[in-house]
């Protein structure tokens, strides 16, 4: 029985390997193998005809070289064959697995595949690139899951649940509304945020069971796409080529691709590729030698160890270069140490200076890293060009995520305005915010609005519509519509980076399932028929996005500019927020704007400075040339709505 307790293991004494040539490298003349396994006594590489059957063709022994590495060569052209490595250490033989950096795998990720990566490139792949962005605040993020996006029977998409669904144009629902990729273009978002696409453990890629489902936060092989989303999971090249086709087509629409990455833990523990290569090293341990679990999933990667940090950085650089990825969202980023995150930022910006990086600024459990060294939101000011989710505005808008019946600004709670104001300024310090009323953040944590991702819902927990149905069970359908419009108005006009959960723009529901990570399709899918049903909400969201793009005053990247030019208006009115925004250095077409959000059901009389104002947004009406002129010291704002005034 192998001992999985690592009390007093001298991991710090393991040799570090500084070069970037680890892994499996193909050429027509030979395929080389280089594996870092300092505790190994022997390593065998087995070559197979395919990725599933008992069809062993050849076995080679690797030879120990320097700095804990083992290496060897397989002479001849072995393209499209499969392989495993197996390590023997002082406790015996470990399992057969791909190498930890495998760039192609077969069915269910159990064997690596020897491929020529050039053969996976779509036509003109060398000319592909994502959108150019001047500032992260110019981005509008849209989070979706590969399968959810297209699997509904009425999506009008042929490649349901697959990468290729994102390459189809001209798709519509039976009710005639645009779906899929055309919907993204119509809506106007700048980046899609894809839930994990890297090879994950729980799904059987060979099964057609319609009930099997997973979000993908249980990574198995970090450097290759998952076969569940490909048209042929047996051939490791196909999933790579099809994912590249997705990226290319999305880029052609002027939209960037952000990957949700899960480097904080692995789906498997003892049988993971890491523990089957160098047992214990890649994971943090508690003081008693057992695996630490700040991820809530059984393990957490030891980001501060040299070879772990090297692995994570090289993996991210590989996705950025090989797949032309435009940004990364880090799951449970608080599990990482700050130094690792800053090195990630430095290295990736050498590839793409405008790459978008953001993550969850918290952990899911106790973590051995000292609090001051964690990449949590309270330490965001020490992170280099990395943004953090603003859960303050999220809970302020709809109610606390962990309290089902709690309400927020849009649903009737009063005295919660400071949380909303906190997000409106992009989580920076602002002299008019009373921080002890923010509760979850007693002080500003962003040094610039570029570090703040504002959102009201995401894949976690209830959809916004479902949360409102639980917390406001007696509301009418039209009241739900107005609440969601108000939430979208706040998110899409605030400073910082706006983030939308796919389908929020037409009241997406998961049938009141709060944690749907393995619920079936009928719970998770995007029902495109709802777009027709709630088309007024879609149109409102689309217009808000267009409005944000037209007004650079909403996309300020400097804390100083916000402090100078954004002023909250007096007097205090419960559940009403009003502020004046001067254009400053933004070259906005308006000299100044006034935003008023009314969270009450009733209309509110709100004092405003006397000037030659134009009403440019009121209810569902948008017009930059002015809906109506107003020159009074007050304005009536309808219940549960936003009004925007502009002075030329």
Tell me 261's DSSP state.
Answer: E
Tell me 268's DSSP state.
Answer: -
Distance CA 182, CA 184 (A): 5
* Distances in whole angstroms, Cα of residue 211 to Cα of each of 18, 91, 197, 199, 253: 45, 40, 19, 19, 33
The whole-number pLDDT of residue 404 equals 87
Q: What is the 3 state secondary structure string of 193-229? A: EECCCEEECCCCCCCCCCCCCCCCCCEEEEEEECHHH
Q: What is the pLDDT of residues 174-186, one digit of tens each?
A: 999 999 999 999 9
Share above pLDDT 70 across residues of the chain, in percent, rounded to a whole number = 100
Burial of 478 from C-beta contacts in 10 A (0-12 / 13-18 / 19+): exposed
Q: Locate tokens 């023997």: which residue?
A: 88
The whole-number pLDDT of residue 1 equals 87
The pLDDT confidence band at residue 439, using thresholds 50, 70 and 90, is confident
The pLDDT confidence band at residue 378, using thresholds 50, 70 and 90, is very high
Q: Which domains, ranges and CATH numbers included, belong to the chain? A: 11-96 (2.60.40.10), 137-226+253-554 (3.20.20.80), 565-647 (2.60.40.1180)
Helix axes 477-493, 535-550, angle to 10 degrees: 10
Those residues whose C-beta lies under 8 Å from the C-beta of residue 641, and which sit 6 or more positions away, are 482, 485, 486, 489, 597, 598, 618, 619
Arithmetic mean of pLDDT, 430-455: 95
What tokens does 376 get? 């949590």
3-state secondary structure of 269: coil
Q: What is the pLDDT of residues 470-489, one digit of tens each?
A: 999 999 999 999 999 999 99
Distance CA 66, CA 68 (A): 6
Strands 387-390 and 356-359: parallel
Strands 69-75 and 30-36: antiparallel
Distance CA 244, CA 250 (A): 10
The three-point CA angle 324-330-333 to 5° equals: 150
The whole-number pLDDT of residue 258 equals 98
Arithmetic mean of pLDDT, 638-644: 98
The answer to whether residue 283 scores a pLDDT higher than 90 is: yes
Mean pLDDT over each residue of the chain, to the nearest integer = 97
| Cβ(80)–Cβ(111) below 8 Å | no
Tell me 107's DSSP state.
Answer: G
The answer to whether residue 440 scores a pLDDT higher than 90 is: no
Count of all residues that appear for the chain in the document: 648
Helix axes 417-424, 391-398, angle to 10 degrees: 140
Arithmetic mean of pLDDT, 376-403: 96
Greatest extent of the chain over all pairs of C-alpha atoms, in Å: 85
Total H helices, total E strands in the chain: 13, 28
Rg (the chain; Cα; Å)? 26
Distance CA 438, CA 422 (A): 7
Q: What is the pLDDT of residues 486-530, one digit of tens each?
A: 999 999 999 999 999 999 999 999 999 999 999 999 999 999 999
Look at 367 and 210; give whichever has higher pLDDT: 367
Q: Locate tokens 């978008």: which residue?
A: 356
| Cβ(250)–Cβ(285) below 8 Å | no
Indicate the Cα dihedral angle 29, 31, 34, 40, nearest 10°: -120
Residue 351: φ, ψ to 5°: -85, -45
Reading across the β-sheet that carries 30-36, which strands appear in turn? 23-26, 30-36, 69-75, 63-64
Q: What is the pLDDT of residues 202-257, one digit of tens each?
A: 999 999 998 999 999 999 999 999 999 999 999 999 999 999 999 999 999 999 99
The pLDDT confidence band at residue 412, using thresholds 50, 70 and 90, is confident
The three-point CA angle 471-472-474 to 5° equals: 145
Residues classed as catalytic = 331, 360
Distance CA 284, CA 6 (A): 10
Q: What is the pLDDT of residues 293-311, one digit of tens each?
A: 999 999 999 999 999 999 9
3-state helix, strand, coil in the chain (%, to 5): 30, 20, 50
Distance CA 542, CA 620 (A): 11
The whole-number pLDDT of residue 524 equals 98
Share above pLDDT 90 across residues of the chain, in percent, rounded to a whole number = 98
End-to-end CA distance of the chain: 77
Name residue 301's beta-bridge partners.
283
Q: What is the pLDDT of residues 192-206, one digit of tens each?
A: 999 999 999 999 999
Q: Locate tokens 């791909």: which residue?
A: 98
The answer to whether residue 402 scores a pLDDT higher than 90 is: no
Distance CA 25, CA 413 (A): 59
The whole-number pLDDT of residue 287 equals 96
Distance CA 545, CA 488 (A): 10
The whole-number pLDDT of residue 47 equals 98
3-state secondary structure of 296: coil
| Cβ(97)–Cβ(105) below 8 Å | no
Those residues whose C-beta lies under 8 Å from the C-beta of residue 5, and which sit 6 or more positions away, are 288, 289, 290
């Amino acid at each position: 029985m192998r001992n999985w307790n690592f009390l007093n293991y001298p991991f710090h004494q393991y040799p570090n390997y500084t070069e970037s040539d680890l892994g499996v490298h193909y050429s027509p003349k030979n395929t080389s193998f280089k594996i870092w396994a300092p505790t190994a006594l022997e390593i065998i590489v087995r070559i197979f005809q395919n990725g599933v059957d008992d069809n062993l063709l050849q076995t080679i022994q690797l030879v120990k070289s320097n700095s804990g590495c083992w290496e060897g060569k397989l002479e001849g052209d072995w393209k499209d064959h499969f392989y495993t490595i197996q390590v023997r250490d002082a406790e015996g033989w470990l399992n057969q697995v791909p190498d930890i950096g495998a760039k192609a795998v077969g069915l269910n990720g159990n064997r690596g595949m020897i491929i020529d990566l050039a053969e996976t490139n779509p036509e003109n792949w060398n000319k592909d690139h994502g959108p150019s962005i001047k500032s992260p605040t110019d981005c509008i993020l849209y989070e979706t899951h590969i399968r959810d996006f297209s699997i509904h029977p009425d999506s009008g998409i042929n490649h349901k649940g697959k990468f290729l669904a994102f390459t189809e144009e001209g798709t519509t629902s039976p009710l005639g509304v645009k779906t899929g990729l055309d919907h993204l273009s119509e809506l106007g978002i700048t980046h899609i945020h894809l839930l994990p696409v890297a090879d994950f453990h729980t799904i059987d890629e060979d099964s057609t069971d319609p009930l099997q489902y997973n979000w993908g936060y249980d990574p198995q092989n970090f450097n290759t796409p998952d076969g569940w989303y490909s048209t042929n999971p047996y051939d490791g090249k196909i999933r790579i080529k099809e994912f590249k086709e997705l990226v290319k087509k999305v880029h052609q629409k002027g939209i960037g691709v952000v990957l949700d990455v899960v480097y904080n833990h692995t789906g498997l523990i003892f049988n993971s590729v890491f523990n089957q290569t160098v047992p214990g090293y890649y994971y943090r341990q508690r003081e008693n030698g057992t695996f630490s679990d700040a991820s809530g999933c059984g393990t957490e990667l030891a980001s501060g160890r040299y070879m772990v940090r090297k692995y994570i950085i090289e993996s991210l650089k590989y996705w950025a270069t090989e797949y032309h990825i435009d940004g990364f969202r880090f799951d449970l980023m608080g599990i990482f140490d700050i130094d690792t995150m800053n090195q990630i930022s430095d290295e990736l910006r050498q590839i793409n200076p405008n790459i978008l990086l953001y993550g969850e600024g918290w952990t899911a459990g106790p973590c051995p890293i000292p609090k001051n060294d964690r990449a949590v939101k309270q330490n965001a000011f020490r992170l280099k060009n990395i943004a953090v989710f603003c859960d303050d505005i999220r809970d302020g808008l709809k109610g606390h995520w962990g309290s089902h019946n709690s309400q927020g600004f849009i649903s009737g709670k009063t005295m919660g305005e400071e949380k909303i104001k906190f997000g409106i300024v992009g989580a920076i310090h602002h002299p008019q915010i009373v921080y002890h009323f923010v509760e979850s953040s007693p002080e500003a944590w962003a040094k610039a609005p570029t570090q703040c991702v504002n959102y009201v819902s995401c894949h976690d927990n209830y959809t916004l519509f479902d949360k409102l149905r639980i917390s406001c069970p007696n509301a009418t359908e039209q009241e739900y519509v107005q609440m969601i419009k108000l939430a979208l108005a706040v998110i899409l006009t605030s400073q910082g980076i706006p983030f939308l959960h796919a389908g929020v723009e037409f009241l997406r529901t998961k049938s009141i399932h709060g944690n749907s990570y393995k619920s079936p399709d009928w719970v998770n899918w995007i029902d495109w028929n709802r777009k027709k049903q709630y088309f007024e909400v879609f149109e409102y969201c689309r217009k808000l996005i267009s409005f944000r793009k037209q007004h650079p005053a909403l996309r300020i990247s400097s804390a100083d500019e916000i402090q100078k030019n954004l002023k909250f208006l007096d007097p205090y009115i419960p559940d009403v927020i009003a502020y004046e925004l001067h254009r400053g250095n933004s070259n906005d077409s308006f000299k100044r704007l006034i935003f008023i959000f009314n969270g009450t059901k009733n209309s509110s009389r709100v004092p405003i400075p006397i000037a030659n104002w134009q009403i440019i947004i009121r209810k569902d009406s948008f017009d930059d040339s002015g809906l109506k002129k107003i020159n009074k010291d007050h304005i009536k704002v309808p219940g549960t709505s936003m009004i925007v005034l502009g002075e030329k």
